[in-house]
Amino acid sequence: MFRHALGISKHIALPDVCFQCASIARPIAQQRSLQITARRQLASIRGQALDRSYFGSRSPDVSNAFRHTRRRRRKDEEKPLPLDASSTLAQSASQAPARSIRRLISTYLALTKPRLAFLIVLTTTAAYSIYPVPAVLSSNVTAAPSLSTLTLAFLTTGTFLTIASANTLNMLFEPAHDAKMSRTRNRPLVRGLLSKRAAMVFAIATGVVGTGTLWLGVNPTTALLGAGNLILYAFIYTPFKRLHPVNTWVGAIVGAIPPLMGWCAAGSQYSTKAASPFDIGTVWEEAKDLLCTEQAIGGWLLAALLFAWQFPHFFALSYAVRQEYAGAGYKMLTSTNVPMAARVSFRYSLLMFPICFGLIVLQGDRACFRRHKQCHQCMDAERGMAILASQWRERKC
């Protein structure tokens, strides 16, 4: 501790008289003499000139010696989180002419939270693209999956529209709270760039068109998952943010459903019980076949991986703005119980290891995974260790 506090290398000998020994109760003259001796020896070790204006009350620099001082220094060095994409687009729209096409497009695009929507669509299409083709349908065990490009287009479009509807409803319900946070105070409804009525019409239109696209262009099971996710995010997660910290678990379920949608979209192309969009009686049979069979294991593992990942991801982001969350009335775990948030984040980081191991075991039996099996194993292990190390450091601080 003494070397670390004073910045002395472990290869350099310490002075014969330390400050603790010099501070032991002695006659004032003797104590001052010992302190001056210790300071002179320390100055010679550091190669620095002795400060002639010495006072006995001066203490060594211990700004980096204690955990709370290191935490305070890191907090002072923290940079504020950048504005979200909605706020950036809203700022751009406010600078455009009042009735211009650019202003209109930027405003409505800001309602969709485009960056978040793109990432969610990416998890959906990723699950779709790695769905294993049954061996009986593949001419070569190393062949790439043969999936419909048209189905992928419907899946991407429908998923984006349902996400846009959910995000618009989220903004529609929270303008007063968004106005209290620096990252969200520039959103379009907060700035008055759009009326609430127009936002509601946009949310209903995108929700109906998105769900219809998934129902007719993909399959009813995927459409029901998308509609359920919209309801879960807009009408359960959004109000729960102001009621109880359990909202993070609800939000994690919302993030876990899109990979399952992509998996079901691909699986329906090889299902023997595919439902007709116009025959309601076959929807339940198709859902059981896509979600409750051996072929669905991969989709559930991907959903579990996204579920576990969201806790270290979201807690790391919300911790940086925990005071703003508390000021806006949100009951986030990082603002109500930071130690508990660190423990939860660490535990779910650990949970990612068995989930990834399950994917590795699964891909060993799937033809479409074998070509890049070793690469996937290395990437899973490397990312898991990086997340775990980061969460361990955060838990210790």
- 197 token code pair: 């009525």
Tokens 């359920």: give the residue.
Answer: 228
User: Which class would CATH give 85-396?
Assistant: mainly alpha
**103-119 b/e with 16+ CB inside 10 Å = b?**
beebbbbbbbbbebbee
Instruction: Count Cβ atoms below 10 Å from residue 365 Cβ, excluding itself.
Output: 9
pLDDT digits (tens, 9 = 90+) for 18-45: 545 545 555 555 556 666 666 666 665 5
| pLDDT at residue 319 tops 80 | yes
Mean pLDDT value across the chain: 76
Q: What is the pLDDT of residue 24?
A: 54
> Rounded CA gap, 220 and 268, in Å?
10
Under the banding of pLDDT at 50, 70 and 90, the label for residue 211 is: very high
Nearest to 332 by CA among 394, 247, 255, 233: 247
Q: What is the pLDDT of residue 374?
A: 39
Under the banding of pLDDT at 50, 70 and 90, the label for residue 141 is: very low
pLDDT digits (tens, 9 = 90+) for 270-291: 776 766 777 777 888 888 888 8
pLDDT digits (tens, 9 = 90+) for 47-69: 544 444 444 455 555 555 566 66
Please state at what angle helix 114-129 crosses helix 297-320, rounded to 10 degrees. Answer: 160
Domain ranges of the chain: 2-77, 85-396
Please state at what angle helix 101-111 crosses helix 149-173, rounded to 10 degrees. Answer: 90
Read off the pLDDT of each residue in 196-218 and give the average, rounded to a whole number. Answer: 95
Q: What is the pLDDT of residue 212?
A: 95
Q: Are 230 and 166 in contact (CB under 8 A)?
A: yes
- CA dihedral sign of residues 268, 269, 270, 273: positive
Q: What is the pLDDT of residue 382?
A: 47
> Rounded CA gap, 238 and 242, in Å?
8
Read off the pLDDT of each residue in 108-136 and give the average, rounded to a whole number. Answer: 86
Which of the residue ranges 167-176, 188-197, 273-282, 283-292 has the most confident prediction, judged by mean pLDDT?
A: 167-176
* Comparison of pLDDT for 31 and 211, the residue scoring more: 211
